[in-house]
Structure 1
Amino acid sequence: MRSQHDIDYKAVLSLFLPKGLLEYFEIIDFSDMGSYYLISLEENNEIPESLRHLNLQSKGFYPEITITDFPARDRTVYLKIRRRRWEDKNTGKTYHRDWNLVASGTRITAEFGSFLKELLKHS
């Protein structure tokens, strides 16, 4: 009989998502849409280190973006991303974490874009 072990599902899921994503985002929903998977992620309410000197408060999220990630099990994976924004209580200026989730000029993650570029070099 197999002994019961605690499984770190976050670690398992991180194998299928862009590296480091779950350090800053929480999975809030997952849907198997038949021909594709849809994973909804929301940025954690943690003020970036570089902005901690400011008097910031969470002001919700920027409009959701959907990006295409690396396929899994022959299905496209879409990531619905909600990026958090913070407002300086003193100035009213809005701040956010500097993300490079979307490759320049495309709607795919930077990690997947790098993978494709590397793949094309070898074809």
Structure 2
Amino acid sequence: MKSEQLLRAILPDVLIDNFDVVNFEKTDSRFDIWLDEKKVQLKEDRRNGDIIAYGLGEYHEIRDFPIRGRATYLHVRKRKWLDKSNGEIFSYDWDLSEYDGTRLNAEFVAFLKEGD
């Protein structure tokens, strides 16, 4: 089994599609998984040379469903983008309509929808 298949089995697809796992720690009581948003622009921003990557925001800790009896904490951070034409710094809001009925908890949905 490929590692991506395993990740898709335990994490929401929106995470695997749009974030990279950058660290993982296992202790006797919990799993901690760090995820950074991929450096991928929306189609309309790729055409606009004024939109550039501008680093990553702070990690947000989200408690997910337990795995194998251990608490699971996702440490997720979104990418920041700079519009050089007006100096605006922003993050993408994710359209989560395709994930209705999945196991995304309210805290995680709120994080993905928030802009900086």
TM-score by length of 1: 0.72
1:23-102 alignment runs, 5 A limit: 23-49=17-43, 51-54=45-48, 55-99=50-94
Give RMSD over aligned pairs: 1.9
Query: Identity, % of aligned pairs?
Result: 30
- TM-fit CA distance, 1:50: 5.1
Question: Residue 21 in 1 paired to residue 15 in 2?
Answer: yes
Runs of at least 4 residues off by over 4 Å:
none
Counterpart code for 1:46? V
Q: Secondary structure at the match of 2:63?
A: strand
Cα distance in structure 2, aligned partners of 1:45 and 1:61 = 10
More helix by share: 2
Larger radius of gyration: 1
The size of the alignment, in residue pairs, is: 100
User: Which ranges in structure 2 are unaligned for 5 or more consecutive residues?
Assistant: 97-103, 110-116
Cα distance in structure 1, aligned partners of 2:76 and 2:108 = 11
Confirm or deny: 8 A CA contact 1:14 1:20 kept in the other structure: no
TM-score by length of 2: 0.76
Q: Secondary structure at the match of 2:71?
A: strand
